[in-house]
Amino acid sequence: MGNDEKVAKKQVGQRFRQFRLAIGFTQSEMAKLLGLTQTTITGIETGKSYPSFPSLIYLARHQSLSLSWLATGKGAMSEKILDPIGQLIDRTGYKEEIEDLLRYMAEIPFVREYILEDFALFKLRKKPEIQNYLNDRSELTEDVPNGSGSTKGRNKNR
């Protein structure tokens, strides 16, 4: 581990401790809140380890921790950064599934990128100019069986 990473871990740990004290928790209370041990909290605060992704999501969502502040020390300590995730959970009622997805995304980076890409495409489809483009593209295909029983993907120009 390089010196820069050691310094970064120590700074994140110091800010984590500052946040814990600001919300009025002991190490033991913070550990219980996050489902961790007090030893783990001590390790985070002394720069021996980083907080886990699920712990960060929980603190951002339920205690308004600014992840940007935690990482850089810039800006406000508390923000409602992950409010859209909270709104999604509130609207759908799929709390456990969404939290599982976030944990899965944190564990496997290439999966995270595919999920975020799919989400971005889903959001883009709602924009009128993208919808017009997709409608124009769909006019190039016709419902012709392709041998597998499906009618998708046949080009009219063939």
H or E element, residue 88: helix 83-92
Q: What percent of the chain has pLDDT over 90?
A: 26
Same structural domain for residues 106 and 158?
A: no
Contact between 60 and 81 under an 8 Å Cβ cutoff? The reply is: yes
Same structural domain for residues 119 and 143?
A: no
For 141, phi and psi rounded to 5 degrees? Answer: -110, 155
What is the span of the domain harbouring residue 4?
1-80
Same structural domain for residues 120 and 131?
A: no
Same structural domain for residues 70 and 103?
A: no
- pLDDT tops 50 at residue 40: yes
Which CATH number fits the domain that encloses residue 27? 1.10.260.40
pLDDT: is 54 or 147 the higher one? 54
Same structural domain for residues 4 and 53?
A: yes
H or E element, residue 57: helix 53-63
Total of domains in the chain: 3
Contact between 71 and 60 under an 8 Å Cβ cutoff? The reply is: no
**Mean pLDDT for the stretch of residues 60-84:** 78
What letter does residue 147 receive in the DSSP assignment? Answer: S
**How long is the chain?**
158
- Supply the pLDDT for residue 81: 42
- In the structure, what pLDDT confidence band is assigned to residue 129 with cuts at 50, 70 and 90? low
**Mean pLDDT for the stretch of residues 92-101:** 76
Same structural domain for residues 66 and 1?
A: yes
Question: Does the predicted TM-score (pTM) go above 0.85?
Answer: no
- pLDDT tops 70 at residue 80: no
Same structural domain for residues 9 and 63?
A: yes
Same structural domain for residues 75 and 5?
A: yes
Q: What is the mean pLDDT of the chain?
A: 75
Q: For residue 19, which of 75, 61, 69, 74 has the smallest C-alpha distance?
A: 69
Same structural domain for residues 62 and 113?
A: no
Given 50, 80, 110, the domain boundary residue is 80
**Mean pLDDT for the stretch of residues 85-104:** 72
**Count of H-run helices and E-run strands, the chain:** 9, 2
Same structural domain for residues 8 and 74?
A: yes
Can you say how many angstroms the Cα of residue 68 is from the centroid of all Cα atoms in its chain? 13
- In the structure, what pLDDT confidence band is assigned to residue 112 with cuts at 50, 70 and 90? low
Same structural domain for residues 96 and 21?
A: no
Same structural domain for residues 66 and 101?
A: no
Token reading at 85: 């995730």
Instruction: Give pLDDT tens digits for 12-26.
Output: 999 999 999 988 889
Q: How many CA atoms lie within 13 A of 38 on its CB side?
A: 5
- pLDDT tops 80 at residue 47: yes
Left (φ > 0), alpha (ψ -120 to 50) or beta: where does 99 sit? alpha
